[in-house]
Amino acid sequence: MKKPSARWLVLAFMMTASLGQAADNPTNAMPKDWSAIWVNQAGYMSHWPKRALVKNPLSEWQTVDLINVDTNEKVAEFPLATPEMDMHSNDRVAAIEFEQFQQQGTYRLQIGDVKSPVFRIGVRVFDELSFKLLRSYFLQRCGVALKDNLSGLEHGLDHHDDGVLLHSDDLNPQGLPILSTGGWHDAGDFGKYVTTTTVAIGEILDAYSRSPQSYPDKQLRIPESGNQQSDLLDEVQVGLRWLLTMQRSDGAVYRKLSGDRWPPVVVPDADKQARYVYGISSPETAKFAAVMAQAARVFRRTSPELAQNYEQAARQAWQWLATVKEQQTVDWYEKDDTGSGKYLYSDTDTELALLTDRDDRVWAAAELWLLTHEQEYLDYLQSENYLTEHLSIYEWKNPALLGVIHLLQDKKANLPASLQKRLRNAVIDLANESLHRSQESAFKLANHRFIWGSNKMAAAEGQLLVAAYQLTGEDEYWQAALSQLNFILGVNPQGLSFVTGIGEPRVRHVAHIFARAIHQDIDGLLVGGANDLAQDGIAPKGLGILSYIDSEKAYSVNEYAIDYNSALIGLLGTLQQAANNR
């Protein structure tokens, strides 16, 4: 018998994993002509477009039945679109469009014996998703003892001695204790990074600013609930407090805090290694300035004293940046990354934006202008070509887009008409590229780079597309953005929801040290997704969108990170705000 190809071994694994079988050793290949129905497993909003896909539809299939799960009765029938081949997975798929059906309930799609996962239609179908995504930050808190009755998770007081300066610099000696407890564990390990903390907070605050009423007090059931402040803002303060500890007295900001070796599979409080603060960085300092200015704008309405502290920190960071005349400066040593992520230009991360801090400064200048309306920041924006010529999706590698969007959407931005036009054209041009990629894909996927964090990138593409919709009113952008959400939540070649605790079948074997140590799932974690390079040696390499496996050892495809979750939180927030105005 012909040996099954790697592609079909991966697909077979996805089927067996969904039945709760072992995650690391797929063995039984499925035939190439197996059929499936892929849906958004979190559900569909009643009045939003609804799209699902049928894999390998038979020629005689013309319609799809909608079954009410509670009664097991057929309630509607929808036509099946003409099949097409997906350019990335080589799957032959046919779309089901059923926007016209708006009755709330719990359903599945069915053709003969082929059934979709169960999903809901309603007006609050994403409440559970939003809750779990946001609450995950509480479960990632560092420097605390965790005892959470809701999830059952608990550990003792961890990393309460953070940290010690690893290398001397021009202000501080090697070995200087720097009190930097708190914050969040960045991902599946226990490191804390300024770059991901800043971009995550930026997206979360953006979501809050769009709809403050959607994030009330007592929403997340965290220790601060009941203090008359939004739980989201309470959680964001955990990250902001830690960021402030990473700022040097002259305004510069240190890069990260971690051990010098990767932790073993233990609960956080059992990680007893020394933890170090690593050198200053102009990209991190600029991101810090940006998010502190953004936080000052948000908190001045509820906590003026806090807002003043954030503004002062942002100004001090910007002043230090004025002393850096190079493309960027990073105080980095050869062995700085033996126990933590590099978050710099590398063999893994090759984007040219990582060779400069100009994109980071653009975000900072935008937020500082919106906060202060001081001419210095507007002058910088008007003179900086990087503002529009190198725009990309918002992520830690290039965060400029969030600042640009804020400049365009803030009614008090008071930009010169020429600058506003330049920014608007740049966003729309970038979104048109994203829209074109979405239209080429049978999954309507706008991200065609299957690298580390590809699911996060899909969410970021979605946010870009929503921004274009809000600038133009052209509905095709909004619908393409919605397709990115569909992909992440089940309309993908794996047929998985990539968020733990949402849908079925869903990802179950996250590369997360704490979860592995206690043999327990943690809800609300978005995993990285397909990665063609599969650097972990577990996931299959060279298969593009199919280079994925649901394994706790496959950290390059199946790890969670705080900036992955924030990207999906941001996409949900922008979609819902835009939908209210459709």
In the chain the first and final C-alpha atoms are separated, in Å, by: 55
CA 294 to chain centre: 19
Whether pTM exceeds 0.75 = yes
Tell which residue, 69, 63, 61, 72, has the closest CA to residue 98: 63
- Report helix, strand or coil for 575: helix
Bridge partners (DSSP) of residue 95 are 53
Positive or negative torsion for Cα 428, 486, 455, 569: positive
Burial class (CB within 10 angstroms; exposed 0-12, middle 13-18, buried 19+) of 1 = exposed
Amino acid code (one letter) for 72: N
Per-residue pLDDT at 417 exceeds 50: yes
What pLDDT score does 581 carry?
A: 81
The two tokens of residue 559 are: 């790890």
Per-residue pLDDT at 124 exceeds 90: yes
Pairing status of strand 164-165 against strand 92-97: unpaired
What pLDDT score does 582 carry?
A: 78
Bridge partners (DSSP) of residue 230 are none
| Cβ-based neighbour number of residue 8 at 10 Å | 16
Q: What is the pLDDT of residues 166-202, one digit of tens each?
A: 999 999 999 999 999 999 999 999 999 999 999 999 9
- What does the CA dihedral 145, 218, 130, 534 come to, rounded to 10 degrees? -10
Rounded Cα distance between 485 and 483, Å, is 5
Q: Quick check: 277 and 165 in contact, CB under 8 A?
A: yes
Q: What is the mean pLDDT of residues 399-408?
A: 98
Rounded Cα distance between 60 and 338, Å, is 57
- 506 phi, psi to nearest 5 deg: -135, 165
DSSP, res 544: G
Radius of gyration of the chain (CA): 23
- What does the CA dihedral 173, 177, 180, 185 come to, rounded to 10 degrees? 90
What pLDDT score does 579 carry?
A: 93
Residue 386 binned pLDDT confidence (cut-offs 50, 70, 90): confident
- 455 phi, psi to nearest 5 deg: -65, -40
Q: Quick check: 459 and 561 in contact, CB under 8 A?
A: no
Tell which residue, 74, 150, 145, 149, has the closest CA to residue 110: 74
What pLDDT score does 32 carry?
A: 56
Percentage, residues of the chain above pLDDT 70 = 94
What pLDDT score does 164 carry?
A: 98
Q: What is the mean pLDDT of residues 244-273?
A: 98
Helix 231-245 with 194-210: angle, nearest 10 deg: 150
Q: Which contiguous run of DSSP H or E holds residue 63?
A: strand 63-68
What pLDDT score does 13 carry?
A: 36
Rounded Cα distance between 496 and 515, Å, is 20
Per-residue pLDDT at 12 exceeds 60: no
Residue 34 binned pLDDT confidence (cut-offs 50, 70, 90): confident
Per-residue pLDDT at 443 exceeds 90: yes
The vertex-486 CA angle with 140 and 528, nearest 5°, equals 40
Q: What is the pLDDT of residues 511-563, one digit of tens each?
A: 999 999 999 999 999 999 999 999 999 999 999 999 999 999 999 999 999 99
Burial class (CB within 10 angstroms; exposed 0-12, middle 13-18, buried 19+) of 582 = exposed
Rounded Cα distance between 121 and 45, Å, is 6
Q: What is the pLDDT of residues 204-249, one digit of tens each?
A: 999 999 999 999 999 999 999 999 999 999 999 999 999 999 999 9
| Cβ-based neighbour number of residue 147 at 10 Å | 10
Q: What is the pLDDT of residues 84-111, one digit of tens each?
A: 999 999 999 999 999 999 999 999 999 9
| Cβ-based neighbour number of residue 311 at 10 Å | 20
Helix 475-488 with 562-579: angle, nearest 10 deg: 140
The two tokens of residue 64 are: 């799809």
Pairing status of strand 256-258 against strand 192-193: antiparallel
Q: Cis omega before residue 490 (within 30°)?
A: no
Q: What is the mean pLDDT of residues 270-278?
A: 98
The vertex-255 CA angle with 250 and 258, nearest 5°, equals 125
What pLDDT score does 23 carry?
A: 39
Rounded Cα distance between 366 and 400, Å, is 9
When the pLDDT of each residue in the chain is averaged and rounded to a whole number, the result is 94
Per-residue pLDDT at 163 exceeds 70: yes
Q: Cis omega before residue 505 (within 30°)?
A: yes
Q: What is the mean pLDDT of residues 249-266?
A: 98
Residue 10 binned pLDDT confidence (cut-offs 50, 70, 90): very low
Domains and CATH numbers, the chain: 35-122 (2.60.40.10), 416-582 (1.50.10.10)
Residue with tokens 């849906």: 39
User: DSSP string of 308-334?
Assistant: HHHHHHHHHHHHHHTT--SS--B---T
Residue 29 binned pLDDT confidence (cut-offs 50, 70, 90): very low
Q: Quick check: 501 and 524 in contact, CB under 8 A?
A: yes
Length of the chain: 582
Percentage, residues of the chain above pLDDT 90 = 93
Residue 396 binned pLDDT confidence (cut-offs 50, 70, 90): very high
Residue with tokens 């994993």: 17
User: DSSP string of 504-515?
Assistant: SSB----B-HHH
User: DSSP string of 477-495?
Assistant: HHHHHHHHHHHHTT-STT-
Tell which residue, 261, 256, 360, has the closest CA to residue 318: 360
What pLDDT score does 21 carry?
A: 34
Residue 255 binned pLDDT confidence (cut-offs 50, 70, 90): very high
Rounded Cα distance between 502 and 507, Å, is 9
What pLDDT score does 349 carry?
A: 93
What pLDDT score does 510 carry?
A: 98
What pLDDT score does 31 carry?
A: 53
Residue with tokens 């994403």: 126
